[in-house]
Structure formats: C-alpha cells, structure tokens
Amino acid sequence: MWLIFNVLLQKELISPSEPLKDNNSLMKITLPIILTILIQSVILTSCKDEDSSVNPKFLVSENYVPAPEDDPDGSLSVSVFLSAVSDKTVSVDYVTADSTAIAGKDYVAITSGKLTFQPGELAKEINFKVLPDTAVKKDVYFSIKFNNPVNGTLSKPGITIRIINVDFTNLAWTEDFTTMALNTTIWNYEQGAGGWGNNELQTYTNLPDNVHLDSGYLHITALKTTGTNYTSGRINTQGRKQFTYGRIDIRAKLPEGKGIWPALWMLGSGFPTQGWPACGEIDMMELLGHEPSVAHGAVHWNSNGHKSRTNSFTLSNDKFSSGFHIFSFTWTPNKLIWMVDKQQYFFLTRAEMPDFPFDLPQFLICNVAVGGNWPGSPDGTTVFPQHMIVDYIRIYQ
C-alpha cells in the first residue's frame, strides 16, 4: 500500500522530468520523501508489533524427569518454560496420567493443575509427590499431560516422570572375565606415561605382562623393568559401557607395597568435553600399598573449584592382599554409599555436594599405578611384580 501512495504523491506534486528551479521545487521533492518515510515507519512498526504478539511455546528441559523413590519426603518438581517473553497472561492446564506407575500407590494424582505466567514471566514449576515404596520392582512411569493452553502453544503434549527404583536387585550387567582375552568391545586399553596428572612413574601398556585373563580372573600387574622404570595396566569402558544409578559390586584381591596404588573407579562420560573435576569422579576403592589394610572411597567434583569428600575402611587383623573382598558402591539420585563385604563405611547425600554432577552416566576404570603424589615412590621394601586380581564386576539396577 505504501508503494502505491508513494507513487501517487510523486506524480501529483512533481514531474520527474521537471528541472529544479527554486526552493519550492525542492520542497515538492522533499515532502513526498518525508511522507513516504513516515508511512513506511508506521507500517513497519505495526508489523513488528504483530510479530511480538506471536504466542510463545511451553518448553520442558528434558524428555523425562527422574523421580527417585528414596527422596526424603517425596516432594519433587519439574520446570516449565516459555520460549519467549509475552506481554499477555499465558496459562496451561495439566493433569497426571498413569502408565506403569499407579496414582495412589506410586504417586499422588493431580486432577486439576494450572500454570499461569504473568506478562514478562518465563518459568514456572509443577510440584508433584512420589510415594514411598519398599517393594522390589523396576522403574515405573507416569505423565503430566498439558491441555487448554491460553496465549501459548504446546511444543509437546506433556512430560514423562520416571520413578527410579533404588532397591537395585536386577542384575543389569556382569563381567566375569571368562573369555580367553579381554573383550575389547567393552574394554579399552589406556597406554602411555607422562605422570597421568599425579606424577605417577609407570607406563601403561596393552601387553599381556601387564593385563591378561587367566581362569576367569582379570590380572593387572605392575612390573619393575630397569632402574626406576615401571610398567602396568589400566583399562576402561569409556564409550562402550556406561551407566547411571545402581549398585556395583567388584570382587577383587589387591596388591601391596610402598608406592603401589590400585584403584577401582569411575569418571563421568562428559570427561572429554567437560574435563576433570567437572565431569565427576567416583572412587569405589583406592589403596595405598604401604597401608594394605585400609581401603579408601572418595568423590571429586566441581563447585567453584575442585571439591572432594573421602572416607576409609580398615580390616581388622588382615590385609586386602591376603584374599578376595567385595567392594560395593550404591548410587541413587539422592545418595552415595560405599561398602566393603556388605559393611557400610561411607555415606553422602546430594545436599552435601553443591552442583552435584552425578545424574549423568559414568564409565569404569581399573588400574594399578606406581608412585605418584599420594602413595609416594616405591622403595627398597617394595616387591615386584604386584597384582590386582578381579574376579567379577556386577551392576544391579
């Protein structure tokens, strides 16, 4: 429309072929230009106003929301966002719907809920409650369904809530090391020297002298080669076997001696991009060879810098090198528990760990280091070779 009006103004006020003779002629050109700019401005502004009134979408951050059945009081929430600020009041109704979870048994039903976003608001929360349950069962699900959106549009029909079973009695994965050689579809060999961030002395290899299977057992062996040179083994399941939540049992016999540092541990799958400690580290078992009766458990994470929590378990009148012991770690969304031979010695809650990174998958690592900042270097009392022997690894979920 403004193009037609512009043409009419130009045609009416001045002919393009007419020469400029005085200021009046200049005004005859300037006036239509000014009017044209004003008209364009009004119409463009109107278009922008129309664009800003487009209804925002309702968004949720996850496809499903984990709801652990061991939450202290069962009260949980999920966030709902708007895709853009609106100058109108935006609302949506919601109700819960059973799937494998049953209202009244597994969670409290919501029969009439409503989220109302006042102009300028972008986020709201839906509160729901999971009921305590001592029955042994698999994870169960229910959904929160959206309906009747006002001044907003639905990006999805609802949210799935996963009630996480924390009894962990289902054997989800096992490694019994019964094959002839290490299964490289599951395990990676880590190789090289360089201190490994702790001034360690060994070079990790993929040689049978350092890592091999024998009669259903994994052997990781630390060797002294020449002078102050050492080799050993380190294997992991990065990119091949990762898991979130559950109980892991590892039956193992540990090495001993000054400067010997065996470990059964995990790193977050985000390690390549997030780095350490932001990815989160869980140490199920670490041992300093000069303290062969003491097993350590620890976590490392980032919260405005490196944070860690540690504890230890001491055998009475025995050494971890004398026989096999079961090192267990239980991991839920709300707590971490360490045990040796079914005896709990370390317990942490989510509330004790700000910026808790342990809701994401972790991968397994088994290694025997030699030397380093924590254990110190081997000395004349250290006997080589030293072996960590692993009978099995079992993950229950």
Per-domain residue ranges for the chain? 60-164, 171-396
The better pLDDT of the pair 131, 143 is held by 143
**Spatial CA neighbour of 349 closest among 330, 336, 366:** 336
Q: pLDDT for 116-129, tens place per residue? A: 999 999 999 999 99
Q: Which residue has the higher pLDDT, 326 or 44?
A: 326
**Model pLDDT, residue 64:** 66
- Residue 190 is predicted with a pLDDT of 96
* Amino acid at the residue 163: I
Low-confidence winner among 70-74, 144-148, 182-186, 269-273 (lowest mean pLDDT) = 70-74
Peptide bond into 56 cis (omega under 30): no
Residue 90 predicted with pLDDT over 70? yes
Summarize the confidence of residues 255-271 as an average pLDDT.
97
Examine the pLDDT at 1 and tell me if it is beyond 60: no
377 by Cβ neighbours in 10 Å (0-12 / 13-18 / 19+) ranks as middle
Q: In angstroms, rounded to a whole number, what is the distance separating the alpha carbons of residues 13 and 16?
A: 10
List 121, 256, 281, 352, catalytic entry: 281
Q: If phi over 0 gives left and psi between -120 and 50 gives alpha, with beta otherwise, what is residue 116?
A: beta
Residue holding tokens 């939450």? 71
Q: Give alpha helix (H) positions in the chain.
A: 2-13, 23-52, 271-274
Of the chain, the percentage scoring pLDDT greater than 70 comes to 84
Looking at residue 130, the DSSP 8-state letter turns out to be B
pLDDT given for residue 13 in this prediction: 36
Stretch 288-306: mean pLDDT: 97
Judge whether 281 counts as a catalytic residue: yes
Residue 277 has pLDDT above 70, yes or no: yes
The pLDDT of residue 216 is 97
- Confidence class for position 32, pLDDT limits 50, 70, 90: very low
User: Catalytic one among 175, 200, 256, 286?
Assistant: 286
Which of the two residues, 15 and 133, has the higher pLDDT score?
133
pLDDT given at position 12: 38
Cα 59 to its chain centre, rounded Å, is: 20
**HSE of 224 in the Cβ direction (CA atoms, 13 Å)?**
16
Q: Which pLDDT does position 61 carry in this prediction?
A: 66
Could you confirm whether 190 is annotated as catalytic?
A: no
Q: Which of 21-35, 123-137, 152-166, 227-241 has the lowest mean pLDDT?
A: 21-35
Q: What is the pLDDT of residue 63?
A: 65
CATH code for the part of the protein at 60-164 = 2.60.40.2030
- Residue 285 CA to residue 236 CA, distance in Å, equals 15
Q: Mean pLDDT check: name the lowest of 13-17, 110-114, 172-176, 192-196.
A: 13-17
Q: Which two tokens stand for residue 350?
A: 């989510």
Residues paired with residue 95 on neighbouring β-strands, in sequence order: 145
CA 326 to chain centre: 27
Q: Which CATH architecture has domain 171-396?
A: Sandwich (2.60)
Give 126's strand partners: 78
